Structure 1
């Protein structure tokens, strides 16, 4: 039976179904991963722009390159259905904005856990339920980043629901009048040693704890919020490429010792 939102079911995954999914917010990134990193890939579905591809690593390991869409509500639907078709490990490959001066544009953030300020997550588990990444996936990502000699930072991520108000954007938003509790929130998070803003990891981590699968997150830094609000598009492609390469190496070699 094909699941309603992702557009495919277990019968579409063959005799050697994937257990690991790379999950990206952008359908273009999922397609890029399939076209450039997977062998014998095929499109499973592009329903609602949630492109999903089945392909294989050079060692024959089946991989799903899937799309979560933007934000936690969309991700929660996709992840629920991915678990239903047999996925047991998910690595989010995303983008983020740094809120620390020592985490520059072009580097990577590997999330150990998330400050989860997301309504979707509250439907999954209580507010105080931990939003923590799988330690083995996290170590595999960090080791892969070290082996590839890319600039990476390991720490806590702030996962919030909105790109503008929730990430305290004044200048680039149509609404410069933030609620009082959001005014100064970025500095508060900086003081708590939080590294970055993004919009999905917290809900992904809580779902992993409740549903019983493994989740990790690696994000390319495309904005430096200690300097300005805007995304630096010129640096995005190379940074995302590094994030994908680290995730691929983790899947192909580093994770084997933990499975």
Structure 2
């Protein structure tokens, strides 16, 4: 792999994250806010091994020690928390570098014969789409609907037939929500990815153990915050008016699950990592509700609760699946 394809500095650190392979743990939390990465590192991790900041990306590796109310003793887990930024273009850079740190021998620039399976969780914030969802509720993603185009550059197969069915249904919904005279009618099409079921189960178990009520549902990831999520505040009108309402009303026929929230990163995360055989999932706190037009100005404690759920889920998974490698 050439220096142009895989930039590594003179100190053996990958370009954007500015860390070396041995400084990354196989259990990873991704957050959007650099300040949140710093907060997690300082309050929920101990025995800090590395703290780096480069181009707004904060990375901290240490040891988490989270137990739940019904949990037996769970061994401390070496964990990395890093910043993914806002949106799938930024996340695509970070996730590719995490994978490279895990899979590539930096001295020979060749892929290793085998490497640990990564477990990666996004801990973020999102807007709720169902009126019944209380602000502060963590949403655990079962399937993600990609309204960005980053995932379209990675030829990942369908994880299951549900993804294929949902893509067809949601493609019709998007086209029907657009004006037939729109310049972009028929050109915007979602892709659907599936969170790793074991991750989903561990997040549900962690939320129950810690007494943090959570909801399971589908997540929409968009390419922006305003018009891509149906917010009409500019003088250039959205191409898909009230897209959030169209998604909220759709019944995916998944045992009562609904499309619960909108954010900007989950779709690519689980699309890309799932195709590599890694385990990925997402838990995002609802900090506003699009149906009730409400916003929580004091959401930090709720995000901290979601973070504790995610750390406990990683600990549970690691205790039950130690040292799994991919070749």
1:84 maps onto 2:100 in alignment:
yes
- Whether the 8 Å contact between 1:21 and 1:65 is mirrored in structure 2 is yes
Unaligned runs of 5+ in 2: 1-11, 66-74, 103-116, 157-188, 251-257, 323-327
> Which of the two has greater helix per residue?
1
Deviations along 1:125-184, one digit per CA (max 9) or x if unpaired, are: 3777641111111100011111112121001001111100011012xx3346222xx113
Deviations along 1:66-125, one digit per CA (max 9) or x if unpaired, are: 110110000011001001112711100000000101111111100011111111111123
> Which residue, out of 303, 308, 312, partners 1:249?
312
* Aligned equivalents of 2:39, 2:154: Cα separation in 1: 31
* Aligned equivalents of 1:9, 1:224: Cα separation in 2: 40
> Which residue, out of 129, 133, 156, partners 2:195?
133
What displacement does 1:32 show? 0.8
> Which residue, out of 152, 167, 175, partners 1:122?
152
What displacement does 1:51 show? 0.3
1:28 maps onto 2:86 in alignment:
no
- Whether the 8 Å contact between 1:27 and 1:51 is mirrored in structure 2 is yes
- Whether the 8 Å contact between 1:2 and 1:9 is mirrored in structure 2 is yes
What displacement does 1:42 show? 4.1
What displacement does 1:256 show? 2.3
Count of residue pairs the alignment pairs up: 249
> Which residue, out of 244, 260, 263, partners 1:186?
244
> Which residue, out of 15, 18, 21, partners 1:7?
18
Unaligned runs of 5+ in 1: none
* Aligned equivalents of 2:86, 2:226: Cα separation in 1: 13
Relative distance call for 1:253 and 1:210 in structure 2 (3 A) is closer
* Aligned equivalents of 1:118, 1:225: Cα separation in 2: 20
| Aligned match of 2:276 | 211
* Aligned equivalents of 1:174, 1:41: Cα separation in 2: 45
* Aligned equivalents of 1:145, 1:252: Cα separation in 2: 13
> Which residue, out of 143, 148, 151, partners 1:113?
143
1:148 maps onto 2:210 in alignment:
yes
1:94 maps onto 2:121 in alignment:
no
| Aligned match of 1:75 | 91
Relative distance call for 1:134 and 1:50 in structure 2 (3 A) is same
> Which residue, out of 97, 100, 104, partners 2:134?
104
- Whether the 8 Å contact between 2:196 and 2:280 is mirrored in structure 1 is yes
Tell me the secondary structure at the aligned position of residue 55 of structure 2: helix
> Which residue, out of 78, 81, 89, partners 1:62?
78
Tell me the secondary structure at the aligned position of residue 131 of structure 1: strand
| Aligned match of 2:47 | 40
For the pair shown, which has the larger CA radius of gyration, 1 or 2?
2
TM-score scaled by structure 1? Answer: 0.90
